[in-house]
Amino acid sequence: MSGIAGRIRLVTGDITTLDVQAVVTAANKGLRGGGGVDGAVHRAAGPELLHACRAVAPCPTGQSRLTPGLALAADWVIHTVGPIYRDGNSGEAELLASAYWTALALAVEHSIDGVAFPCISTGVYGYPADAACDIAIESVHRWVQTSNLPRVIIFCCFGDADFQRYESRLRQVGLLSEA
């Protein structure tokens, strides 16, 4: 499926299998690897990714760092640190928006044409899925209105519940139509 000007896309599955120039991983501040999508990205990229991470760590919450993709099909990994959800009144929304925004800014800085995002902060970090989905879509929507790059931005959902949540929200805001 594609959205306005074909720039916003929605897929379901393992982000490490996507043929896209950069994949975003939901990292921790130390860029030490971990579970969830970060574990999958580190496994697929290989142990050298941890060495590459050491060179650019730490990464404060809401910020992003770039490393090569190594054994991944993707050329690059953008390591983005989303907020740990506490009570919703601790700046989480701004930090989550910043996580998306700084990842996109890094992509532009390195002339990266296509980027795939997982649902940052919604696993171990406990961000409520509906609220996180709204912030993800709003951030990307604002971005495509002001920048021509990346040309393609993919939301990669891991499972049907997130896919349906994104599909319905993207349709509501007019960002998704049948390809």
Residue 11 or 108: which CB sits closer to ligand AR6? 11
83 binds ligand AR6 (CB under 6 A): no
* Using rule CB under 6 A, residue 53 touches ligand AR6: no
**Are residues 79 and 30 in contact, defined by beta-carbon separation less than 8 angstroms?**
no
**Could you give the 3-state DSSP secondary structure of residue 177?**
strand
Residues designated as active site: 38
Rounded (10°) CA dihedral 36, 27, 40, 126: 10
> Which of 96, 122, 150, 165 is close enough to bind ligand AR6 by CB under 6 A?
122
Tokens of 84: 């740990």
Q: Does 10 bind ligand AR6 (CB under 6 A)?
A: no
By CB under 6 A, tell whether 92 contacts ligand AR6.
Answer: no
What binding mask, one character per residue, do residues 22-51 give for ligand AR6 by CB under 6 A, x or -?
A: ----xxx-----xxxxx-x-----------
At residue 42, what is the residue type?
Answer: H
Q: How many other C-beta atoms lie within 10 A of the C-beta of residue 10?
A: 21
Give the number of residues in contact with ligand AR6, rule: CB under 6 A: 24
Alpha carbon distance 118, 72 (integer Å): 16
Binding of ligand AR6 by 119 (CB under 6 A): yes
Tell me, what DSSP letter sits at residue 21? S
| Binding pattern for the stretch 138-157 against ligand AR6, x by CB under 6 A and - elsewhere | ------------------x-
Tell me the C-alpha distance between 131 and 29, whole Å. Answer: 22
- Interface ranges with ligand AR6 (CB under 6 A): 14-16, 26-28, 34-38, 40, 82, 118-125, 156, 158, 162
